[in-house]
A and B are shown apart, each in its own frame.
Chain A
Amino acid sequence: MEKALNRQKILLQHLKPTSFSSSQTDQSPSLSASICAAGDSAAYHRQAVFSDDVVLVAAYRTAICKAKRGGFKNTHADDLLAHVLKALIEKTKLNPSEVGDIVVGTVLAPGSLRAMECRMAAFYAGVPETVPIRTVNRQCSSGLQAVADVATAIKAGLYDIGIGAGLECMTVDSMGSHRQINPKVEIFAQARDCLLPMGITSENVAQRYGVTRQEQDLAAVESHRRAAAATASGKFKDEIIPVSTKIVDPKTGSEKPVTISVDDSIRPNTNMADLAKLKPAFKKDGATTAGNSSQLSDGAGAVLLMKRSVAMQKGLPILGVFRSFSAVGVDPAVMGIGPAVAIPAAVRSAGLELSDIDLFEINEAFASQYVYCCKKLELDPEIVNVNGGAIALGHPLGATGARCVATLLHEMKRRGKDCRFGVISMCIGSGMGAAAVFERGDCVDELCNVRIVESNALLSKDAQ
């Protein structure tokens, strides 16, 4: 330490702004080392770039479409997944046999059947038989959990390249069919609360934390407005993979080939007056309506993760760095408050303060819980869900996490260097919350160090 102080002393002497030739500098104060007070993120100790960082090099999604009535109502779930996987591989020119594992977040479909469908989807996408695939289910955060699982495995050294994905087809699979319930739940209140319909938990949040109907409707209007603006200005074009599929006319039964490349659940003309007319959907005197809740949707997303050294070697752009992930538990009766607990946990484990975060993507399961979380964390509304959320775009449960990663990373890329840290979070049915912190890739802007060295005559053979 003494050595460091000596070095600092010698370098500081170089900076003493004393010049014997000019007298006007006489009054200048003497320099001393102090903590840098510049900028927001400057307070954060700068992390060096490590070659074993887990980086995200590509993130894509399908359009998100209304369940049963939207663009994917006649599309098989495995086709949705196959399309994003295929696009991910093609756009990055990755050799699919190098992928160590594919993890798919999926919620409502029967577990084993869905696992099989995912394996089949991989084959449709041209992934060779040697690449394994599995599913993960942490309810609404399954997509984010899939990304976190892959990042964890890469960090642990299990493999170098992995794909985190998400898939949900709410046209086919629906919520709410419980099997026979253990009578024991009557003794355990919190266990019983796990069975509450999600809408009731939303009403609980609104009631317990005082979120008014007006606040909820306002959040819904804003979500639609932002999503419509983002779609109109083509912001989603970078992240959406067009899917060629078919639509069957329910009356005539005729099939029509279509290409779906736009989210179809956004209503640009949503306004307070119209929303106020809607009746509460879950409770007679409640405030949660179809207009201020997330929509049932179909969709899929996929994210390609790898070790930084591998990305550099392959000359792939580094879109973002995976910094931290936290899942936390909360009271199941107010499961919507999950992000308010998970975000501080994830931010802390990344070594940051909440004020260091430049962009948030918080899932709008219900306007009530979304409004509560933003208020509780005192977030600036200008940096939360800047391109709308699940109320406008829809909430395909298992795919939402992967969808958010694609939206967040592309928005961070657009915002440039000032946007350094981004957070994704969502609440989880049965009382949990999950959040992850991403840092922008440091070479996204103008610097491009990544280039494959064609000839390296300097290195000896055994070094190659």
Chain B
Amino acid sequence: MPVFKTPFNGYSVKFSPFYESRLAVATAQNFGILGNGRIHVLDLSPTAPTLSQLVSFDTADGVYDLSWSESHDSLLVAATADGSVKIYDTALPPTANPIRSLHEHTREVHSTDYNPTRRDSFLTASWDDTIKLWTVDRPTSVRTFKEHAYCVYNAAWNPRHSDVFCSASGDCTLRIWDVREAGSTMIIPAHEFEILACDWNKYDDCVIASASVDKSIKLWDVRNYRVPITVLNGHGYAVRRVKFSPHRRNVLASCSYDMTVCLWDFMVEDALVARYDHHTEFAVGVDMSVLVEGLLASTGWDELVYVWQQGMDPRAV
């Protein structure tokens, strides 16, 4: 299965929503603590199991996350550790990039998510406790959502309602927001420890998954949020990222500080479908391809990017 070695520590990997063979990787030097960052745009070879680099962009600080534009096949949004949000056009040479650098967050930007339904805006979640809403054409943010009491690690759009998103924070709450409303519409005290990630189910717009430092993933129904639908235990350390399958209603992927990537089916009793232990350091980035069913990608602090088909061994040559 294809493997790519990045010079810096991996932080995030995302498949392009336009090209089935393309993906982007966010990396940061020295584990994102100190140093530069780099974004790699990679292409899977149609014939050989190799990943080749199309282009890379250097940044002055680590890149923690990125998301592809849903409206333009060459646009990328990057969340960087110096608090800036940068927009890259992969069709332009590195010297002409980034095409925008938006400085509003006062601390590290930890995640970004492009609106998949309206396709004109994106969210950024930052360690300055805020979430900001942006559009590509405006030089300043459209709105700032400030309610969380600690770092916001993740924000994710609802796949059906173009104004609704959820956010995960170190203040141990999960919040649901509607852009049309003044404040958050729902606060779920989902875990007793920091929450590092959240995602919406792609087939049921009421189901959210939250991933926490308490090693568990919990699934919530927003119509009845007092108790979780189910709790997925199995990771040995904090769960860093969670992602619902674009193809299967019940399937989600997660990655953790325990260096593994797990696939879950939350509707069955033995929820853990597969555990991949190919990374040798913290696994912090995972994604599932929208265009190719069962195609997974992961990255971690071991500076490796793996792409593999569900059921196969990522390390198999």
Contacts and interface: CB of A to CB of B under 8 A. Distances in A.
A307 to B, nearest CB: 15
A449 B238 contact: no
A458 B54 contact: yes
Interface in A5-41: 7-8, 10-11, 13-21
A19 B216 CA distance: 9
Interface stretch (B161-169, B189-197, B201-209, B222-230): B189-197
B282 to A, nearest CB: 9
A447 interface: yes
A143 B4 CA distance: 35
Contact of A19 (B95, B214, B257): B214
A19 B215 contact: yes
A458 B41 contact: yes
Contacts of B51: 449
Interface of B: 3-5, 7-8, 29, 31-34, 41, 43, 45, 48, 50-55, 74, 81, 90-95, 108, 127, 151, 170, 192-194, 196, 213-216, 237-238, 240, 257, 304, 317
Given A19-B215, A449-B53, A49 B90 contact: no
B81 A7 contact: yes
A443 B29 contact: no
B317 to A, nearest CB: 7
Contact of B3 (A3, A8, A447, A460): A447
Looking at chain A's contact residues, the main secondary structure is loop
B86 to A, nearest CB: 18
Interface residues of A, number: 31
B7 A7 contact: no
Interface string A443-464: 1001111010100101110110
A181 interface: no
A31 to B, nearest CB: 10
A442 interface: yes
B34 A4 contact: yes
Contacts of A463: 92-95
Contacts of A19: 214-215
Nearest to B50: A451
B53 A17 contact: no
Given A7-B33, A20-B214, A14 B54 contact: no
Contacts of A443: 5
A451 B92 CA distance: 22
A325 B214 CA distance: 51
A232 interface: no
A13 B55 contact: no
A242 B167 CA distance: 67
A156 interface: no
